[in-house]
Amino acid sequence: MFTGIVEETGEVVSFVEGAESWRLTIRAKLVVSDMGIGDSLACNGCCLTVVAIDGDTLSFDLLDETVRLTSFAGVKAGSLINLERSLAANGRFGGHVVSGHVDTTGDVLEFEPRGKNHYLRVSAPAEFRQYLVYKGSIAIDGMSLTVAEVHEDSLAVWLIPHTLEVTNLQQTKAGDKVNLEFDLLAKYVERQMAARLEQE
């Protein structure tokens, strides 16, 4: 489990297709300090398993399905990746419940400075819009953010300067794809309500 509080950005060293999987290798500073083979790491909000460690680099194997359903298809050497280690039992819960299971991707429609902050608007596929509520939570590329606006086809959030400094948003521009994970609790509530209706 994760909380959507990005610890650092890692830099993509390589992302290549192999015979059995795609291999993503990133260079990081902070998170490598206590990672082991088999550990989970949220990379742009996608929970990946560490399969190799070499100094300050970590490698992961990605299935075709993962590449297809996430924004990883667009990463290349030099891309910045938001990184978060899984929540320790004694860790602080600073964001919201994030599983690391990306629901879908959205397109960045607007990303611009407005006053002292930045405004980010992202498209949201119709089948997931029921999970969007004003002041609710959403994970965008693994960042726990608060929904500021809900539009017919999109959502918008406001970003403080600190978020820009410590995440991959410093490379983000209109037209980019981002990973979206909608509120897990909202999905559980929806499923429970549907089950009750089926029993009536």
Q: Kindly list the domain boundaries of the chain, sorted by start residue.
A: 8-85, 104-193
pTM listed for this prediction: 0.92
The dihedral through the CA atoms of 190, 191, 196, 198 has a sign that is positive
Q: Which residues contact 72 (CB under 8 A, 6 or more apart)?
A: 15, 22, 24, 44, 46, 62, 66
Q: What digits encode the pLDDT tens for the residues 90-127? A: 777 788 989 999 999 999 999 999 998 999 999 999 99
What average pLDDT does the chain have? Answer: 94
**Amino acid symbol at 51:** V
Q: Domain 8-85 maps to which CATH number in 2.40.30.20, 3.30.1490.20, 3.40.50.1970, 3.30.70.580?
A: 2.40.30.20
Domain 104-193: assigned CATH number:
2.40.30.20
